[in-house]
């Protein structure tokens, strides 16, 4: 019997030279960086889920109303944050122990809410600050003059039911009316694609959409990365431009004593590049009436070298730089070609299931029995879900009203000091009926 020449031990891992030579011998193979993905996104972005959503929801409304490209829109939120780069290489003795860099306090995130249309148009973009008062670097008068962006405030910087309602009523719905005038079709039906965030659970708002001839369709849970136009191209280009703009802006702050004047100059440069859309300015009255001073005039600093770190900047200065850089990045990302391609590659417009299933992140798995099982994860929780449906339908609005009424009753009971008696705990004695 022949004896194996290999030792009875674990083989050594391949060397770097073997790795490169292996790829060189196989030109059809390549190496890419793997990106992390949430388990829920991996599990839900499947052919049954996407197919069921198209066949049961999206394709029927397109067949019924035959939407014009000017009347198909997508609205979503994206979060931006300014963090310091503390990954520094330190030269020190080998036996010197550990090296530490003081961590600067992180600035809370700011939320941007853009709305794009399949014909390349866009509505006013909403900016949500993590505060309820006017930021120190702004005044109410200065905010009202910015016709390209609307501003709101929330304690955590997230969108909520009230803010989303005001944004829709004052910006999105009026923009649909202007789109109708542009195509000279006053009775044209509109379609708005959104995700299933809890802020959309608003029966009165859905009544307003229905009254204005706009259908609202929600995406299947955890599939926005493959089905949402904004996530397809626009947001990725926006984040790339944001990093570029932040680096350019931080070049003005290196060893700069008079930073306030630099901020003003940067704002003037950005405002000269941004073209305001025809959508009206939205002044969301959430900040209150507190006004602060406008940045004072100071001497113009000398030209600075590039510096990626934000150490030494106050929270106000970081916030200002982040917002102005994001505004410029959005302007650079909102090209008509980017918007066209975003709707096209997701299969939203033109509406095509075949195109949607060609997305690289859509997993081809065996088809299960019908739509209910295809999105079974959305039904397993006790919470009411509005994912993957026409949420302006009569049935959806009735469900929303029932949920809102139950929430109001619960809030009233809490205010009155009463508490609903729940089920007894497992270790609690229970009365057992006696059998006679």
What is the percent of the chain with per-residue pLDDT over 90, rounded to a whole number? 44
Query: Over 70: is that where the pLDDT of 95 sits?
Result: no
Mean pLDDT over 36-53 rounds to: 88
What the block records as the tokens of 235 is: 């947001």
pLDDT (0 to 100) of residue 253: 60
Q: What is the pTM of this model?
A: 0.76
Q: For the residues 99-113, what does the mean pLDDT come to?
A: 69
Average pLDDT of 243-259?
67
Burial of residue 126 (CB within 10 Å: 0-12, 13-18, 19+) is: buried
Cα radius of gyration rounded to whole Å, the chain = 27
The full DSSP string for 286-306 is: TS-S---PPPPP-PPPPP---
CA trace torsion 241, 246, 249, 253 (10° rounding): -170
| 318 falls within a domain | yes
Residue 258 domain flag? yes
Structure-token match 């060189």, residue found: 24
Mean pLDDT of 110-123: 96
Confidence at 44, pLDDT banded by 50, 70, 90 = confident
pLDDT digits (tens, 9 = 90+) for 148-177: 888 888 888 899 999 999 999 999 999 999
Asked if residue 18 belongs to a domain, the reply is no
> What is residue 93's predicted lDDT score, i.e. its pLDDT?
63
Q: Which of 32-36, 117-121, 197-201, 305-309 is the least confident region? A: 305-309
Confidence band for 140, pLDDT divided at 50, 70 and 90: low
Kindly state whether residue 26 falls inside one of the protein's structural domains.
Answer: no
Find the range with the poorest average confidence among 130-134, 233-237, 249-253.
249-253
Measured CA to CA, the distance from residue 187 to residue 170 in angstroms comes to 20
Across the chain, mean pLDDT equals 77
Residue 100 lies in a domain: no
Number of domains in the chain: 1
φ, ψ for residue 427, nearest 5 deg: -85, 5
CA gap 106, 84 in Å, rounded: 7
Banded model confidence at residue 194, pLDDT cuts 50, 70, 90: very high
What are φ and ψ of residue 117, in 5° steps? -115, 155
- Looking at the domain assignment, is residue 3 inside a domain? no
Among left, alpha and beta (phi > 0; psi -120 to 50; other), residue 213 is: left
State the angle between helix axes of 259-273 and 315-333 in degrees (0 to 180), rounded to the nearest 10. Answer: 20
Separation of alpha carbons 176 and 75, rounded Å: 13
pLDDT at residue 254, as a whole number = 53
Three-state DSSP at 424 gives: coil
User: What integer pLDDT is reported at residue 223 of this predicted model?
Assistant: 94
* 176, part of any domain: yes
Indicate if the pLDDT at residue 379 is higher than 50.
no
**Percent of all residues in the chain with a pLDDT value above 70, rounded to a whole number:** 66
- Residues forming a β-bridge with 193: 74, 217
Over residues 216-226, the pLDDT tens digits come to 999 999 999 99
Return the top range by mean pLDDT from 106-110, 302-306, 398-402.
Answer: 398-402
The confidence score (pLDDT) of residue 97 equals 54
Domain hosting 227: range is 39-83+105-405
Please report, for residues 88, 89, 90, the alpha-carbon distance to residue 94 in angstroms, rounded to integers and kept in the order given.
16, 13, 11
Q: Is 164 exposed, middle or buried (0-12, 13-18, 19+ CB in 10 A)?
A: buried
* Residue-level pLDDT at 136: 72
| 185 — pLDDT class (breaks 50, 70, 90) | very high
Q: What is the pLDDT of residues 283-329, one digit of tens each?
A: 343 333 333 332 233 232 322 332 334 555 677 777 888 888 899 99
- Non-local (6+) Cβ contacts of 90 within 8 A are 99
Q: Which residues contact 364 (CB under 8 A, 6 or more apart)?
A: 46, 47, 357
Query: How do residues 11-35 score in pLDDT, each as one tens digit?
Result: 777 776 887 888 888 888 777 766 7
**Residue 255 reports pLDDT greater than 50:** no
- Residue 268's CB is within 10 A of a number of other CB atoms, namely 9
Q: Give the pLDDT score at 39.
A: 84
Phi-psi region at 316: left, alpha or beta (left = phi > 0; alpha = psi -120 to 50): alpha
Tokens at 59, concatenated: 């394709």
Please state, in angstroms and rounded to a whole number, the distance separating the CA atoms of residues 388 and 395: 14
Which residues of 77-231 form beta strands (DSSP E)? 78-80, 110-113, 115-117, 125-129, 149-153, 190-194, 214-218
Helix (H, G, I), strand (E, B) or coil at 78: strand
pLDDT tens-digit readout, 50-70: 999 999 999 999 999 999 999
Stretch 365-386: mean pLDDT, rounded? 56
Say if 394 falls within a structural domain: yes
Identify the pLDDT of residue 415: 85
């Amino acid at each position: 019997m022949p004896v194996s020449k290999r030792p009875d031990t674990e083989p050594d891992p391949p060397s770097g030279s073997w790795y490169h030579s292996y790829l060189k011998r196989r030109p059809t193979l390549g190496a890419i960086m793997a990106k992390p993905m949430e388990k829920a996104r991996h599990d839900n972005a499947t052919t049954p889920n996407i197919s069921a959503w198209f066949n049961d929801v999206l394709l029927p409304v397109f067949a019924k109303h035959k939407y014009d490209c000017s009347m198909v829109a997508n609205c979503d939120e994206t979060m931006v944050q300014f963090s310091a780069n503390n990954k520094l290489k330190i030269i020190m003795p080998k036996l010197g122990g550990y090296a530490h860099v003081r961590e600067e306090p992180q600035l809370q995130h700011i939320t941007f809410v853009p709305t794009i249309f399949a014909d390349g148009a866009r509505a006013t973009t909403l900016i949500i600050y993590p505060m309820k008062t006017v930021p120190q670097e702004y005044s109410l008068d200065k905010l009202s003059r910015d016709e390209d962006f609307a501003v709101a405030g929330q304690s955590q910087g997230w969108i909520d039911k009230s803010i989303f309602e005001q944004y829709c009523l004052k910006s999105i719905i009026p923009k649909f009316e202007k789109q109708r005038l542009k195509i000279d079709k006053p009775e044209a039906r509109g379609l708005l694609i959104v995700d299933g965030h809890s802020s959309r659970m608003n029966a009165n708002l859905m009544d307003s959409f229905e009254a204005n001839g706009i259908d609202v369709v929600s995406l299947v849970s955890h599939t926005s990365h493959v089905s949402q136009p904004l996530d397809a191209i626009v947001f990725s280009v926006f984040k790339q431009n944001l990093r570029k703009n932040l680096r350019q802006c931080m070049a003005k702050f290196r060893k700069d004593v008079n930073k306030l004047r630099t901020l003003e100059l940067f704002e003037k440069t950005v405002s000269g590049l941004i073209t305001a859309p025809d959508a009206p300015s939205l002044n969301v009255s959430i900040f209150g009436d507190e006004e602060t001073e406008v940045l004072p005039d100071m001497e113009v600093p000398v030209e600075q070298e590039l510096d990626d770190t934000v150490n030494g900047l106050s929270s106000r200065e970081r916030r200002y730089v982040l917002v102005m850089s994001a505004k410029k990045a959005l302007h650079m990302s909102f090209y008509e070609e980017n918007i066209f391609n975003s709707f096209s590659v997701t299969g939203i417009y033109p509406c095509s299931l075949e195109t949607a299933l060609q997305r690289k992140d859509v997993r081809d798995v065996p088809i299960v029995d019908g739509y209910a099982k295809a999105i079974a994860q959305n039904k397993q929780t006790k919470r009411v879900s509005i994912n993957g449906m026409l949420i302006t339908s009569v049935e959806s609005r009735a469900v929303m009203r029932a949920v809102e009424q139950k929430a109001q009753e619960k809030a009233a009971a809490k205010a009155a000091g009463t508490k609903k008696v729940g089920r007894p705990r497992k270790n609690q004695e229970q009365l057992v009926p006696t059998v006679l």
